[in-house]
Amino acid sequence: MLRLLLSLLVCLSAVTAQDRYERLMRDILIFDAHIDTPRYFVDEGYRLADEHGYYELDIPRMKKGKLGAVLFGIYAQPGDYAPQLWLPRSIECLEALHREIKTNRADMEFAWSATDIERIHKSGKLAALASLEGGHLIADSTRVLGAFHRLGIRYMTLAHFKTNNFADSMTDVEVHNGLSTFGKDLVREMNRIGMMVDVSHISDKAVLDAVETSKAPVLASHSSVKAISPIARNMPDEVIKAVARKGGVICINFHAGYLDPKAYDVYMKNRPARDQEIKEVLAMRANDPSKWELVRGIQRKYYAQMPKVSYKVLLQHIDHIAKIAGPDHVALGSDFDGVSGMVPVGMEDVSKYPVLVKGLMEMGYNDTDIRKIMGLNIVRVLRAAEEAAEK
Ligand SMILES: [Zn+2]
């Protein structure tokens, strides 16, 4: 009798869990703060309307994953492009993004504000936003920054992989001891125009300077947890807590090499050989469009040598921040299409976000917190940046 009762209870809770999941999925806003697809529009004629067996975002997979909003990353890596190309390359990618959204207007719409995101999400389309990765892209001019804001850029990462005139990068030499005076002025200017300040990629001291200088909460658009995976690109607990104290949010990066230090070791050991092979293919086949498939083949070969990292590790990173800083201060910033295919198992592309909803439910999170983590925390920080702007 007891056994019967127990199995009945198990059955019942499975039914209610499935009901709860379906209810959540009906209108949850899933928002990713960092996806790097736009350069593929420019370089490879990649089209969002088609379903692909490579890269991580297109409309058919986005629909499967119930993705509701994306901050698309615009960038030109300082090491990959000559300085005179940083600005034109960024504008080219941003223009390509706007055109791609217009072409697919039945499925997506450009969002200029937090209120836009909510309206577009309600209409059943994807809200697409744009961001700029690295202060080196604005030619050291706050007017260029202002122009980018008018073109739709809603956050700028203060520095990318290299230290610039504004901020020390966490993967380069420290020359400013955090933010320079110019960098602090830049943060104030971003507050004035209502652009979010992104503190991913910059040194710990630079993050603390940005938090102290900024009137509005800041965002780390794609950063994971150093206490779990002690590598340079991840954020230590005291910095996470400082971002949270000011109302900000840390969006977890899905890069398998960032989530797991063992995967990182293999990635770093292989990177010089991988990059050399890619460079040779690109040089030898400059005018051959098949070169991109060859590049992906090289990326796949090296990815296969990395230890497999489950999407459950990603959930641990989320849980860590929720535990030390609160569920209001963690969100998603996959870095999809910017991680050279090094994705976690079970979270291979944008069709997979629902497994995170299920995972958070299993970990005991309530619906309100799941909604915040899956998207609303980023909307809150964007709205706060808008409210801090000079009227
Ligand atoms: Zn990045």
Quick one: which of 196, 151, 191, 157 has its CA closest to 382? 196
- Distance (angstroms) between ligand 1 centre and the Cα of 24 equals 30
Q: What mean pLDDT is reported for the chain?
A: 96
The secondary structure of 222-288 as a DSSP string is T--BTTTS--TTSB-HHHHHHHHHTT-EEEEP--HHHH-HHHHHHHHHHHHHHHHHHHHHHHHTTT-
Q: Give the distance between the most distant pair of CA atoms in the chain.
A: 78
pLDDT in tens, 71-107: 999 999 888 899 999 999 999 999 999 999 999 999 9
pLDDT at 8: 76
> 198 alpha carbon to ligand 1 midpoint, in Å?
11
pLDDT single digits (tens) 310-326? 999 999 999 999 999 99
Query: Residue 161, SS3?
Result: coil
pLDDT per position as a tens digit, 244-253 = 999 999 999 9
Residue 108: enclosing H or E segment and its boundaries?
A: strand 108-110
Evaluate whether residue 279 is within a structural domain: no
- Domain of residue 368, residue span: 30-260+309-388
Instruction: Compute the distance from residue 71 Cα to the ligand 1 centre, in Å.
Output: 13
| Domain count within the chain | 1
Contact between 169 and 202 (Cβ < 8 Å): yes
Could you tell me the pTM of the whole model? 0.95
Cα 147–chain centre separation = 23
CA of 160 to the centre of ligand 1 (A): 7
Residue 288 inside a domain? The answer is no
pLDDT digits 0-9 by tens, 265-322: 999 999 999 999 999 999 999 889 899 999 999 999 999 999 999 999 999 999 999 9
Considering only CA atoms, which of 257, 354, 365, 282 is closest in space to residue 321?
365
- From the CA of 12, how far away is ligand 1's center (Å)? 44
How many Å lie between the centroid of ligand 1 and the Cα of residue 112? 22
**372 domain residue, yes or no:** yes
pLDDT tens, residue by residue, 218-237: 999 999 999 999 999 999 99
Whether 365 is covered by a domain: the verdict is yes
The CA 201 to ligand 1 mean position distance, Å, reads 7
Residue 84 in domain = yes
Residue 360 lies in a domain: yes
358 alpha carbon – ligand 1 mean position (Å): 27
Using the predicted structure, report yes or no on whether residue 337 has a pLDDT greater than 90. Answer: yes
28 forms beta bridges with: none
Centre of ligand 1 to C-alpha 254, Å, is 11
Q: How far is CA 186 from CA 15, 109, 136, 182, 337, in A?
A: 52, 29, 12, 6, 28
Cα separation, 324 vs 241, in Å, equals 7
The reported pLDDT for the residue numbered 12 is: 72
Residue 213 located in a structural domain: yes
Residue 245 located in a structural domain: yes
Q: Which pLDDT belongs to residue 130?
A: 98
Structure tokens at 365: 């999170």
CATH (domain of 83): 3.20.20.140
CA distances 305 to 121, 134, 260, 265, 274, Å, are 39, 31, 14, 11, 12
pLDDT(134) > 80: yes
